[in-house]
Homo-oligomer: A and B are copies of this chain.
Amino acid sequence: MSTATSDARPTCSIARTLEVVGDRWSLLILRDAHRGRTRFAEFRDALGIAPNILTNRLAALVDAGVLEKREYRPEGERTRSSYHLTPAGMDLKLVLAALQQWGDVHEPREEGPTVLRRNTRTGGLVTVGFLDEHGNAVPDEEVGFEPVPGGPADRPIWC
């Protein structure tokens, strides 16, 4: 019966991210958005997803603040909706790239990877990795997860 505002979301950042993108369809829609797709019919045809599921997932991604819904009206047709990445959605590029890189290495196909990550300015290949404060690579095995000092005792699931 309390009227105090309290944050009911998970204490764990990974869990909060997964509340937004932890569904497989949602991540595949976001991947297509990062390829430049914006329209309902484009997502539907590319993914082979049932229209009612697509409607549901697009609405959830808009609610989560990673897609923005806009209206457009093709010449002589009814108004339609398009979906555009917000800054938070753009920042998922790194999450998508990390998933992609792991799949290329640990679930490879005989034909090799189907996509390369490149620096569009220099043309050089790009990987995802850990970086120190100076922007230099840190080997994975040197990285540890550490609870924030002074965190409340009721945070058994820090992450």
* A residues at B contact (CB < 8 Å): 7, 9, 11-24, 27-28, 31, 34-35, 46-47, 65-66, 88, 90-107, 109-122, 124-133, 135-138, 140, 142-148, 151-152, 155-159
The complex places the Cα of A32 from the Cα of B43 at a distance, in Å, of: 34
* A16 / chain B contacts, CB cutoff of 8 Å: 103, 107, 109
Bound CA span A134–B145, Å: 25
Interface pair B115/A143, CB less than 8 Å apart = no
Question: Measured between C-beta atoms, what is the minimum distance from A113 to chain B in Å?
Answer: 6
> Which of B114, B126, B157 contacts A132 (CB under 8 A)?
B126
Q: Are B135 and A14 in contact (CB under 8 A)?
A: no
Instruction: Quickly give the copy total for this chain.
Output: 2
Q: Whose C-beta in chain B lies nearest to the C-beta of A88? A: B106
B91 x A102 contact (CB < 8 A): yes
Whether A130 contacts B133 by the Cβ 8 Å rule is: no
Give the residue of B103, B137, B152 whose beta carbon is less than 8 angstroms from that of A13.
B103
